[in-house]
Amino acid sequence: MNRPSDAAIDALMDELSRGLRADQLSRDPEKLAAYGHDESDTGDFPPQLIVFAERTEDVAFVLRTCQAHGVPVTPVGARSGKSGGSLPLYGGASLSLERMNRILSISTENLTAVCQPGVITGELMRAVEEKGLFYPPDPNSWEFCTLGGNVAENAGGPRALKYGVTRDYVIGLEWVLPSGETIRVGRQTIKGVAGYDLVGLFVGSEGTLGIATEITVQLIPLPRFVKTALLLFADVNAAAKAVTAILHSGILPRTLELLDDVSVAAVDGRGFSFPPGTGAAVLAEVDGNDEEPLFAELARLGEIATQHGATETLLAADGPQRERLWAARRSLSTSLRALKRHKISEDIAVPRARIPEVIAQLKAMGAELGLTVATYGHAGDGNLHANILYDGPHERAKVDTALERMVKLTLAAGGTITGEHGVGYAKRAFITWEQGPKVVALQQQLKALFDPKHLLNPGKIFPG
């Protein structure tokens, strides 16, 4: 596919301006440059035009018009994606959903909420918590990512260990197909099994099968108490073994977040100072409606950690202390970026029993190739973010070798190439390694059924 000519974009712009206001269309070079990259560090692919949708009808109009003009169009939320999903690889239009940012309703009777796709995830979390309800999916980017982006990537987060991921909460969608036709899939009820699970298909479709314009999520009651502990270790292998042991102990924490030595050093002093000698940490959290049993659970977690070499267990005494720990954890991605000029954040997931072995292999690989590899993530569910930090293009060949080796060792351990960030552009070369040509071909047929001209977010998920 070639980038459309300037004349093709002029003609598209001309037609779009008949249905949209001037401030909904931008060809400002600075804006185009900004919409050409995300948090994946996979390069710059500026669109030729940005369209800011404000209503479902705008989205439908833009998709219809792009089809008629044969111009590619790529949906975009907050551009916090780490797999390059929102990058317009072949130019054309970026269709921004950020102005469709209203929470339309929260029902305390039905335990549901209906949102536009540009709602910031953290705003939904806060709004339902004020009513005693809980929306558990909590990507660490919740302060700036959008619900539409979460739906497209089937985002997870620390609490996925106990509560699951975005797909487990989305029950209905208003969805604009690549042709511009608007449909409603799913339901407003908590239970329901009629027909194929199109909600399940669309959640995680990475902006390639259509655009979410309204999202209905189910909610659960907000647990009354949350208790947090930081388990400290001298090295990451001991911490990984402790995570596995905790999961066998009969306790299901809501988070078990692992930080290795590089990660600990990167966040040390940013709101929280680690004792000298700390080589790894696990941020463990339990929740429930009664306070006393939670202290008992944390004490048990502390005992198991000590048996596996923990040097200390620190309990967060109150809300502000707990928030300081989480702020350090959430700043990790940015703090690591400060260590070297480039960072590639891998997002593998492995069966939980293989966590210690895979972490050891990642460390050994980094040492052998002379690369800094920082491993952290939602270790409780086997989802590890192995970050390769490097200085510039002269190291790129080594980085590519490391990425390939990482994928191979993950697959050899029975794992998957992405636990929550999606395949997007960054990992499209590897999906066939994991799923095999038949399964990839079947998915490509599905894509062709929805989008025969391959104009919606082309070049994503599948090999080029």
Ligand X SMILES: Cc1cc2nc3c(=O)[nH]c(=O)nc-3n(C[C@H](O)[C@H](O)[C@H](O)COP(=O)(O)OP(=O)(O)OC[C@H]3O[C@@H](n4cnc5c(N)ncnc54)[C@H](O)[C@@H]3O)c2cc1C
Query: Which residues contact ligand X by CB under 6 A?
Result: 38-39, 74-82, 85-86, 97, 117, 139-141, 145-146, 148-150, 152-153, 155-157, 206-207, 211-212, 333, 420-421, 457
CB of 6 to ligand X, least distance (A): 24
Q: In the bound complex, which residue of the shown chain has the CB atom lying closest to ligand X? A: 149
CB of 36 to ligand X, least distance (A): 12
CB of 94 to ligand X, least distance (A): 9
Helix, strand, or coil (residue 324):
helix
DSSP β-bridge partners for residue 374 = 387
> Which distant-in-sequence residues (6+ apart) come within 8 Å of 295 by Cβ?
227
CB of 3 to ligand X, least distance (A): 18
Nearest to ligand X of 128, 211 (CB atom):
211
Nearest to ligand X of 67, 140 (CB atom):
140
Nearest to ligand X of 412, 446 (CB atom):
446
Please count the other Cβ atoms lying within 10 Å of the Cβ belonging to residue 299.
12
C-alpha dist (Å) from residue 101 to 31, 77, 131, 241, 363: 20, 10, 20, 43, 42
CB of 368 to ligand X, least distance (A): 28
Q: Tell me how far the alpha carbon of residue 324 is from its chain's centroid.
A: 22
Nearest to ligand X of 395, 420 (CB atom):
420
Tokens of 263: 């990660």
Helix, strand, or coil (residue 49):
strand
> Which distant-in-sequence residues (6+ apart) come within 8 Å of 100 by Cβ?
53, 54, 55, 116, 117, 118, 148, 213
CB of 82 to ligand X, least distance (A): 5
C-alpha dist (Å) from residue 208 to 115, 175, 355, 456: 21, 12, 32, 6
Tokens of 435: 């799923």
Nearest to ligand X of 74, 237 (CB atom):
74
Helix, strand, or coil (residue 363):
helix
Nearest to ligand X of 260, 297 (CB atom):
260
